[in-house]
Each structure stands twice: as structure tokens, then as C-alpha cells.
Amino acid sequence: DQQVKQNSPSLSVQEGRISILNCDYTNSMFDYFLWYKKYPAEGPTFLISISSIKDKNEDGRFTVFLNKSAKHLSLHIVPSQPGDSAVYFCAAYSVQGAQKLVFGQGTRLTINP
Amino acid sequence: DAGITQSPRHKVTETGTPVTLRCHQTENHRYMYWYRQDPGHGLRLIHYSYGVKDTDKGEVSDGYSVSRSKTEDFLLTLESATSSQTSVYFCAISELGGETQYFGPGTRLLVL
């Protein structure tokens, strides 16, 4: 049972345009949602998070939107830069559950010059 | 960057042999995790630890065991490696559990 899903394995965006990565979840008990970024041959690094009591969190070029009624979150990157090319994982966490994150399958973002 | 190292970084082994991967942290974080990353599956939790000698299973724990005798070290053992355990293994640490985790550089394991 995949509780967190990223249905787009890959996404290609032109440099300077907006990149939108999507994530769906099924467990309404999740309290926090996070995005991680991963470059080849490196471990994932934390990018941005959002609490379930908010619908938007912004950090520079990165904004995460949460739609609880649709059980959907998205990561917007504006403007996209070549260094943003990486695999992006969304993850979710329940405060009342075990102390562990549930990850999606990942989306490979490629920024074209 | 969080102080997390993994060893070895690369390993090739044969089916049926035991393999131990080591995760070492210098952050004194309470929680430590082992994940595997496979195409189409993302990151899947194998085992995690919430303190010295306190461990629990993740979603893909079959064929794996773990031990944590010191705060800084978390060992993952494949008792008898199989080709299905060919993967990239990541260790992660967290101070408070869940939420933000910091990942090591990964170990690439090939089981022939």
C-alpha cells in the first residue's frame, strides 16, 4: 500500500520557467510533509517542509502547497535553474505514528538550457 | 552538513555471503535509519533505531538485521545476501525522530 505517491517519474522544464512537482497521499493522519532533493551518488538532502495546519510554505525559489481536502501537495520552483536538475522525493510524517518518514517514488527533474 | 559516514561506499559480493554495512554519526542524534533506494520504489525503510539497543522493523525488513550498541554506530547486516538485495543503501539520522532526517552518502551494493 503506497501511502505517498509521485505519479510522474520524470519532468523536463526549460531554464527560467516554473517547475511543478506533484505528490499525493492517502493517510489523513500525516502531520508534516517534506521534500528532499537528491543528486547522483549523494544522499538526499532536506529542501522544504510544510505542516498540515498550513497550506503554503515558501523558501526563496521554492514553495510547497498543501491541499488537504485533495490529499495533494506540490513543490514549485521559480525560476528553474540547471542546478535544480535532480531527483525530488516527497515524504510524509505522522506525529502520533512511529518516528519515521514515508517516501514517494521520486521524480527526476531535468532543467534544459 | 550533518556528520554521517557510511562504510563501505561500494561493495560487490556473492549470493549467500554475509554482508555488514556501517553507519557512523558524530551528531549524537537519537534516531538512526536504514533505507534502500531502488528504481520505481523511492526510499524504503528497512530498520530504524530510537536509542542504543532499541530497534524496530521498517517496511522491507525481511533478510536484514540491525544492531546499535553505541549511539554513534548503526549496523545493517544481510545474513545471506541475495541478488534482490542489490541496491543503494542510505543511512539517516534524526534528533527528534521523523520529520527532518539527514542522510549519509550511501553504499552501493551489488550481489552477484
A31 DSSP assignment: -
- A52-97 pLDDT, tens per residue? 999 999 999 999 999 999 999 999 999 999 999 999 999 998 887 7
User: Which residue range(s) make up the domain with A28?
Assistant: 4-112
Q: Which residue of B has its CA nearest to A88?
A: B42
Q: Give domain limits for chain B.
A: 4-111
* Interface membership of A103 toward B (CB under 8 Å): yes
Sheet holding A19-25, edge to edge: A4-5, A19-25, A72-77, A62-67, A56-59
Confidence of residue B98 (pLDDT cuts 50, 70, 90): low
Best of A29, A51, A100 to mutate (most B CBs within 10 Å, chain B):
A100
The CATH code belonging to domain B4-111 is: 2.60.40.10
B11-20, B36-45, B62-71: least confidently modelled range: B36-45
Examine the pLDDT at B1 and tell me if it is beyond 60: no
B9 near A CB under 8 A: no
Indicate the number of domains in chain A.
1
User: Domain of A35: which CATH number?
Assistant: 2.60.40.10
